[in-house]
């Protein structure tokens, strides 16, 4: 079976890591990955069953070598395939929704955003109807697609993670020198793209609210990633006078070592699909503070982590303060989360569900 996987680009992120787990974990299948250029292209070079094409994802390019199945992982290429309402393909098309972008227009609630929400609703429903099968990575997204879009051809397959790739991760020994951190400190880390969805503005404003307290506790914040709002967030940290508390690392190849070096991971996203970084934090046994929103609250709760009210700057500041005051059983939370991830989000389970979906879509 030849499967063409299509996404927007080969850049660092949870989406490309998810694709890597698929093609690595299904060596009996042949894959060709189509996307725009990015820094993770070389990651696939050692896999014998994989070819890559970084020249984009136009339907003509993807269909040229006649795959048995097309699996799309981003809305932009899905739109490219079905922009023409008369387009028909002999090859079955599967789409995985890594979160629903429509949630963006819930923030803030305004007349303009309500209009954008309605337009997005029409677009997503139209595109999802055209796909032969839709995969949701979270139960919340599956239920949203079924109930709001009235679609039945949607299947829930949770993101999976291979614990073996995290078992030998060691702390970054030189992290203190590189980021000018004091020897005795409490280090919070956030690993995410810099965009509106990920809520870095919420985090920086929360830090500013308790700036003096954080200095007393010797707390620092390491923000790992790149994206369109990075310059804005750097400027915000200076304007709110927290630049001495915040470090920006940019894109890194040693993310797991940096995470292992931190005391707590914070994920302040406004919405998620099923965030792989939380699964990784679970397996690394790092305590978590996260927004109570789509995706995050499917993983946390029940003493597996600390959640704050979505977009509530004061609540996040309070949760950080209580963490530093030792009011949470962080080690207990981390241990619970570790076992929860191990038991429910294995890459083996994900791959079995995906292989079954490929076979059933092809009528096998």
Residue 8 to residue 143: CA distance in whole angstroms: 25
Torsion 275-277-283-285 (CA) sign: negative
pLDDT at 171: 92
Same-domain check for residues 201 and 298: yes
Domain co-membership, 184 together with 144? no
Classify each residue of 239-257 as buried b or exposed e, where b means 16 or more C-beta atoms within 10 Å of its C-beta: ebebeebbbbbeebeebbb
Q: Which helix (H) or strand (E) holds 291?
A: strand 288-292
Residues above pLDDT 90, as percent of the chain: 92
Predicted confidence at residue 167, as pLDDT, reads 87
pLDDT in tens, 180-215: 999 999 999 999 999 999 999 999 999 999 999 999
Pair (103, 233) in one structural domain: no
Q: Are residues 84 and 125 in the same domain?
A: yes
Residue 230 has φ and ψ, to the nearest 5°, of -60, -50
User: Are 289 and 180 in the same domain?
Assistant: yes
Domain with residue 295: its CATH number is: 3.40.50.2000
Q: Are 133 and 153 in contact (CB under 8 A)?
A: yes
Same domain, 88 and 173: no
The alpha carbon dihedral of 325, 329, 335, 340 has a sign of negative
257 and 325 both lie in a single domain: yes
Q: Are residues 113 and 38 in the same domain?
A: yes
pLDDT digits (tens, 9 = 90+) for 36-92: 999 889 999 999 999 999 999 999 999 999 999 999 999 999 999 999 999 999 999
Same domain, yes or no, for 212 and 317? yes
pTM: 0.90
Tokens 């006649």 sit on residue: 66
* pLDDT tens for each residue of 169-181: 999 989 999 999 9
Question: Are residues 195 and 145 located together in one domain of the fold?
Answer: no
Q: Do residue 19 and residue 149 come from a single domain?
A: yes
Q: What is the count of structural domains for the chain?
A: 2
pLDDT tens-digit series, residues 236-280:
999 999 999 999 999 898 999 999 999 999 999 999 999 999 999
Residue 94's SS3 state is strand
Buried b / exposed e over 182-207, threshold 16 CB at 10 Å, is eeeebbbbbbbbbbebbbbbbbbbbb
Rounded CA separation 258/44 (Å): 23
Residues 191 and 317 in one domain: yes
Element (H, E) at 230: helix 230-239
pLDDT at residue 364, as a whole number: 59
The domain of 260 spans 164-344
Closest CA to 290 of 315, 314, 269: 269
């Amino acid at each position: 079976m030849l499967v063409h996987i299509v996404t927007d680009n080969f850049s660092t992120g949870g989406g490309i890591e998810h694709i890597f787990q698929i093609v690595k974990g299904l060596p009996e299948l042949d894959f060709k990955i189509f996307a725009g250029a990015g820094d993770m292209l070389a990651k696939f070079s050692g896999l014998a069953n994989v070819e890559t094409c970084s020249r984009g994802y136009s339907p003509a390019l993807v269909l040229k070598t006649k795959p048995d199945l097309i699996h799309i992982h981003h809305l932009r290429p899905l739109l490219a395939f079905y922009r023409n309402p008369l387009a028909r393909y002999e090859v079955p098309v599967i789409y995985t929704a890594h979160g629903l972008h429509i949630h963006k227009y819930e923030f803030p609630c305004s007349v303009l955003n309500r209009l954008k929400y309605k337009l997005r609703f029409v677009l997503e429903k139209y595109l999802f109807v055209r796909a032969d099968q839709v995969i949701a990575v979270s139960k919340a997204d599956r239920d949203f697609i079924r109930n709001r879009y009235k679609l039945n051809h949607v299947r829930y397959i949770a993101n999976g993670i291979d614990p073996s790739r995290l078992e030998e991760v060691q702390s970054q020994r030189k992290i203190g020198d590189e980021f000018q951190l004091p020897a005795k400190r409490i280090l919070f880390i956030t690993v995410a793209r810099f965009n509106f969805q990920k809520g870095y503005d919420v985090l920086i404003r929360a830090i500013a609210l308790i700036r003096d307290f954080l200095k007393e506790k010797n707390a620092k914040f390491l923000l790992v990633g790149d994206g369109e709002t990075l310059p804005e967030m750097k400027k915000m940290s200076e304007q709110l006078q927290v630049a001495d508390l915040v470090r920006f690392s940019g894109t890194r190849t040693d993310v797991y070592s940096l995470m292992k070096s931190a005391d707590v991971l914070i994920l302040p996203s406004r919405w998620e699909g099923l965030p792989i970084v939380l699964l990784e934090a679970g397996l690394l046994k790092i305590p978590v503070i996260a927004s109570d929103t789509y995706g995050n609250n499917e993983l946390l709760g029940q003493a597996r982590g600390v959640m704050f009210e979505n977009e509530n700057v004061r609540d996040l500041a309070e949760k950080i303060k209580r963490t530093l005051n030792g009011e949470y059983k962080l080690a207990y939370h981390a241990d619970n989360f570790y076992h929860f991830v191990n038991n429910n989000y294995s890459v083996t389970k994900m791959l079995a569900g995906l292989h079954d979906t490929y076979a059933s879509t092809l009528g096998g």
